[in-house]
Amino acid sequence: MWISSSRPCRIGMHFFNPAHVMKLVEIIPGLETSQETIDDVVMFTESLRKIAVVVQECPGFLVNRLLMPYLNEATCCLQEGAATATDIDATVVEFGMPMGPFTLMDMLGIDVCQYVGDYLYAEYGPRMAPAPLFYKLVEAGRLGEKAGKGFYGYGGETDRPVRDMIAAFGRDPKSEFSVERVMYPLINEAVLAVQEHIAAIHDVDMAMIAGAGMSYGGERKGPLAIADEIGLDVVLDGLNDFFAKYGERFRPARLLRTKVRAGHLGVKARRGFHEYA
């Protein structure tokens, strides 16, 4: 939703679906939006008992921008035969997400995911290159729950056609699935958002907690706090390994490299993206 008037106060409010349940609202000011207008819209959002996060304008805003690399990498793993959808979903839920990527994409609509993926690829380039499996599913009418079939089958439908599609791509013997492979692109994109001043560190974490239900180790935590817990040096080493193996999707953010060089390694160093007593 956009709010505008004759004064320079154009500003966006991005509610999450279903709006009556989801607490997060992304507030997107324009280039000339006054701080007074931003504050007023934040107060209005909070009056609705929502959580307001101010996000500078960028393709995908914040939550969708961070989610798409994670959803795409999970789809790459599936397409390459590295693991089944069920196994990937179960592993990601164990990590701390409220549902697995394929359950989520079936709920959102695979055609929607393809559209968002194409848009982000056009805007951000190779690191957002969509998995070809998205196009095969959409061509086959497997759009998710609304069509009764997506990555999974519903009612009388099965996932056998999806398994046939994957078999047609051929097993990639070099491809391996791990929870780090699908979660580190999300963490890296969160670092890029901070690096580009799209949102503050606290707001990035809060947005992913409120908008995507992220948790880790049984506690509600966003991607930057999770990176601090894992160790920023560990995350950087993992991204470098994946970059060498899978390419541009895993190029580490410059800010992450800078943090590690400075010894800001996270919880173990008492300083990372957050500070610890």
Structure confidence at residue 273 (pLDDT): 98
Confidence of residue 9 (pLDDT cuts 50, 70, 90): low
Of 14, 20, 264, 274, which residue is the catalytic one? 14
**What's the whole-model pTM score?**
0.94
130-165 pLDDT, tens per residue? 999 999 999 999 999 999 999 999 999 999 999 999
- In order of 25, 145, 160, the CA distances from 153 in angstroms are 32, 8, 8
Euclidean distance between CA atoms 248 and 229, whole angstroms: 25
Q: What percent of the chain has pLDDT over 70?
A: 97
Confidence of residue 7 (pLDDT cuts 50, 70, 90): low
Q: Is the distance from CB of 62 to CB of 198 less than 8 angstroms? A: yes
88-123 pLDDT, tens per residue? 999 999 999 999 999 999 999 999 999 999 999 999
Query: For this structure, is 14 an active site residue?
Result: yes
Alpha carbon 237 to chain centroid, angstroms:
20
237-261 pLDDT, tens per residue? 999 999 999 999 999 999 999 999 9
Euclidean distance between CA atoms 218 and 222, whole angstroms: 12
Euclidean distance between CA atoms 64 and 50, whole angstroms: 18
> What value does the mean pLDDT take over residues 67-81?
98
Euclidean distance between CA atoms 227 and 235, whole angstroms: 7
> What value does the mean pLDDT take over residues 82-87?
98
> What value does the mean pLDDT take over residues 80-88?
98
| Phi and psi at residue 183, to the nearest 5° | -90, -30
**Residue extents of the structural domains in the chain:** 2-54, 179-269
Euclidean distance between CA atoms 67 and 20, whole angstroms: 21
184-196 pLDDT, tens per residue? 999 999 999 999 9
Whether the pLDDT of residue 1 is over 60: the answer is no
Assign a CATH topology to domain 179-269.
Answer: N-(1-d-carboxylethyl)-l-norvaline Dehydrogenase; domain 2 (1.10.1040)
Question: Which secondary structure element, helix H or strand E, spans residue 53, and what is its range?
Answer: strand 51-54
